[in-house]
Structure 1
Amino acid sequence: MHPNAAFRWEDRAAMRALAKDISFGMLFLNTPDGPHVAHLPFVFLDDDRIGFHMARNNAIARHLDGAEALFVINGPDGYISPDYYGIPDQVPTWNYVAVELVGAVRKMDEAALIAQSDALSHHQELKLAPKPVWTRAKMADGMLEKMLRGIYGFEMQITTWRSTLKLGQNKAEAVRLSAADGAEEAGNGAIANAMRNLT
């Protein structure tokens, strides 16, 4: 996380809300085979626990059960030109939002894996309204069992939350908002919105 205290984000509920909305991240683990990362969708099982699944032949899968891992969720990010600030003697930078979760990982049994998969698809399907929600009831007989043979489910009990909210908080408000306008004019509305509303 960024060492500047101005960019430290302590609002746990806001971090959780951002992570839940994105629902995708990178799981990092140092294994006997070297460091590995898996890119995964996830769902919150409760306030301090996430669930995810991956292919059984994923290089990280055989090392996860019982390990401590790092899960990173990246929010909006973007280049900030010195010209955006409207004041002299600035330098280019990159603004971004990131949440890091650290915790112990354990393998799920089949019932928990099915529940996690259902919760994940349901959370995403609700975002597609007014489209009718897809459920596994639409799958042909035997397809769920076939899918389950190829994946493992895991949960992480989060013990540490870390986050960076680097959005120009070290600048005067008018200067930060000017930079947000510049980012939006350059086509990065997501980072501009974060600069205006998350600080």
Structure 2
Amino acid sequence: MYIPKAFEVTEKEKLYNFIKNNSFGILFSQDDIGPMATHLPFLLHESGQLSTHMAKANPHWKSLNGKEVLVVFQGPHAYISPTWYHEENTVPTSNYVAAHVYGTVKIVKSKEETVHLMDQMVNLYESGLSEPWTAPFGTKFIDGLMNGIVMLKITINKVEGKWKLNQIHSIERQQNVVNGLRMAKNIISLKSQT
């Protein structure tokens, strides 16, 4: 990812928090057939690994074991109108927050580890609900579903972060963009109500 210094984020804790809060990502790889991408939920582990799962019916997993992949996590993003700057000689742009994770894939073969990782993921995603669901592992229904997935662990080799949020502009321009975004949000909100 092209990252000008003004937009670069290198603090590991900040990047990991961003990934945890925006944990639905896209796993990209390249093989003899060409590029492949799959949208997946990810779990970030303190050990410096990501885990995820995909359907066995998805051919993407078949060429991943031992390969380096890219996982892209995208956060908030918005179109920025040049009219919001209230100045001449400006052009449209986009503001956004993103992290790229490069790592090496290992396919999990152990049923016990697969269940353990899936249980952790379910617990994470259910934790904010008032009545969290608990996966009844060991039942015929869940075992049948578990037989239809492949669990992946990705050892993180490198993380890049880009926060492109008008940092290179004056405070006045930044405030004009904030005001423009608020106005645009209100317009979008009004359109959705009609």
TM-score where L is the length of structure 1: 0.87
Counterpart in the other structure of 1:136: 135
RMSD of Structure 2 on Structure 1 (CA): 1.6
8 Å CA contact 2:25–2:74 kept in 1: the answer is yes
Confirm or deny that 1:114 pairs with 2:115: yes
Corresponding position: 1:82 with 2:76: no
Q: Which residue of the partner structure matches residue 67 of structure 2?
A: 67
Count of residue pairs brought into register by the alignment = 185
Aligned pairs for 1:8-87 within 5 A: 8-87=8-87
The one-letter amino acid paired with 1:117 is M
CA distance in 1, matches of 2:68, 2:138: 37
Offset at 1:65?
1.1
Matches within 5 A, 1:153-172: 153-172=151-170
Report how far residue 99 of structure 1 moved. Answer: 0.3
Contact 2:3/2:162, CA 8 A, preserved across alignment: no
User: Partners in 2 of 1:178 and 1:11 — Cα distance?
Assistant: 28
Which amino acid letter does the alignment assign opposite residue 104 of structure 2? A
Q: 2:190: which partner in 1?
A: none
The one-letter code sitting in structure 1 at the alignment partner of 2:113 is A
Report how far residue 47 of structure 1 moved: 4.8
1:136 is paired with a residue whose SS is coil
Partner Cα separation in structure 2 for residue 165 and residue 89 of structure 1: 24
Instruction: Give the gaps of 5 or more residues in structure 2.
Output: 187-194
Percent of aligned positions with the same letter in both sequences? 29
How far off is 1:11 after superposition? 2.1
1:196 counterpart residue number: none
Q: Are residues 153 and 140 of structure 1, via their aligned partners in 2, closer, same or farther at CA, if it must alter by over 3 Å? A: closer
Paired letter, 2:127: L
Shift, 1:127, TM fit: 2.0
1:155-181 superposed Cα distances (whole Å, 9 cap, x missing partner): 101010111111101101221122022
**C-alpha distance in structure 2 between counterparts of 1:148 and 1:33, whole Å:** 28
CA offsets per residue over residues 139-169 of structure 1, 9 Å max, x none?
7821121011100001101010111111101
Partner of 1:182: 180
- Aligned-partner residue type, residue 156 of structure 1: I
Structure 1 residues 112 and 67, CA, compared in 2 at 3 Å: closer, same or farther?
A: same
